[in-house]
Chains A and B, each alone.
Chain A
Amino acid sequence: MMGAAWLLRRLVASIAIIFAVVTFVFILIHAAPGKPCAGQPEDVDPAVCAQLNRQFGLDRSIPEQYWRYVVALAQGNLGYSFSLRRPVADAIAETIPFTLQLAGAALLLDFLLGLGLGIYQAGRVNRLPDVIIGNATLFIYSLPTFWLALLLLLVFGEKLGWFPVGGASDPVFCPVVDSLYCVRDRLWHLVLPAATLGLVGAAGTARFQRAAMLDVATQDYVRTARAKGVPERRVVWRHQLRNALLSFITRFGLAFPFLLTGAVLIETIFAWPGMGRLAFEAILTRDYSLVTATALVASTMVVGGNLLADMLLGLADPRLRVRAGADVEALTA
């Protein structure tokens, strides 16, 4: 098992990273041009803005705002949203489940499809299927995500009507998910956004996994297994894939930032009510508390994902259990 000291070290480092991210985002969003104020840009009444600024403490100096923010954060208070006129914690608590549903579905598609294609290609290296899939994954991987999203929305939503045009549920029949029918409705709404995120991710995973499988294929233990007459299927699944999974776990850790940044765009295009869309709208309205809080939650998820990946690596590779600590970090860096 991983040492408790190693875990403690990683936890302390993680907290420091998260705190640094929050500080950086706080300074950056305050330094950015544009100020928070309600209403349309053209019709905004400066007197109303001034009053709102006073009410939300935005008329104080940046160091004072930062100090107040840190003190409140230490007490578990994420502040009040200027644009939503409600506690930031409430807004985030409502959106996180949607982002997790989207990211989870995309991750599933990404890894199942990517892993399957990578393994399939590695078994047919340089043959026609490998070439076709290789080019197809490269094509999908190079597509801008927003373009793919708009294309899917137009074709499968508006033109064919197979899937809903945005949203997370049918507002008439399923305003809340309280039945099996509504669970299916949620899944039906999830298809296009998850496919957009997952397909691009799967294309990357397939290429990554193919390379990892080929790398392992030249190892002595694989050659030995083949020489001993072990059936090819067993060689692939037991010896090749199992060892190639180490790099797959590393990719799992790296997938979190990709999914969360992708979610900002995808949630906005598909009107998915998740944290990415919340962050995007908070940036546009310069809702300082909300921007900083979404950065806090996102960085926690990313750091947590990486920590989880490191722990999984330790579990998957017995060598790392003994040399836990710096070696694991070196491997995953």
Chain B
Amino acid sequence: MKAVIIGVGLHPFGRFPGKSAMDMAADAVRAALGDAGVSWPQVRAGFVGSLEVYNPDASVGRLGLNGVPLRGVFNGCATAGTAVAMAARAIETGEHDLTIAIGMDKHPRGAFAADPSVAGLPSWYGQTGMFLTTHFFGMKINRYMHDHGITHETLARVAAKNFRNASANDKAWRRTPLSEAEILASPVLNYPLRQFMYCGPDEGAGAVVLCRADQAHKYTGRPVRVRACALRSRRVGAFEVQSPSVPVGEQAPSPTVDASREAYEIAGIGPQDVAVAQLQDTDAGSEIIHLAENGLCKDGEQERMIADGETEIGGRLPVNTDGGLIGNGEPIGASGLRQIHELVLQLRGTAGARQVPGSPEVGYAHLYGAPGVSAVTILST
């Protein structure tokens, strides 16, 4: 049995002093249920993700305790990909008729901080200032620019586009457009990446309601089909975040490449069919690299594509139409649900000022994060 999305709900992303992640999650669930036209007791199972909240499944204390099975999920920045995949799979296997994926987070300000032991790494790696994700992204794009002729201006164009898209999104965090010159004048954090080329950890929540495709007509005239969910971890030889060493020789593809290929194969859909994409833009360089790693262009083509506006709303392949991580920040448990929320609006044709023209039929969502994990979800009308 196929799974379809019948409802999406998103708590705005940003900073909400005094409001807990669970309260944001409850708001997102209520919005998703309202969008689907179902009541909480109709939900037969839920998959709930968060980094900061120890028991994210406790958010049902705000919805009505009714014994519904809830499973906590966590895959770093790919957490929401896993929540959606499991919610869809529970329907595909026939276990449940109607499920929900929920994600929430409320991060302190600044770069993510943790002890290296959480990633199985020795203490010295953190003591000496190397247990950070941000510098990895600087190193990966620096090498990529060297190999494929990507310029600093292209990094700035990507960030400017995402701020511009966020300015048309009332749920986004950073809604003030920034010019390429302003972005290029912001302080370097990890060369060549500057302050306004990075996303920041923040707060927010999302929820997605799914049901059996053959029952969707009871709830909506415009179900969005889940065509593929794939998740892959890193292989030996891939250049991955939080790696004190990497084997020499031919590099293995990133988990993004593996997850992407698997998702296209499952969906029977090719990169040329993708009408709108949400790609993990932890930083502007990541969006550029992920275009190629997801098969949406060849290495190096981004320089021309982005200069020509192909990834803008109205371009050939709009990317991060809601502002992406750069415009919305990254509450880890919810970030991927924001992507699904945006794709569902785009495929329904209800994205308002940021609607992709031409009735897009295929949407593509991609997540990537530590310790080298990627999730891809493909949706279609």
Q: Do A and B form a real pair?
A: no
Q: Which residues of B contact A (CB under 8 A)?
A: none
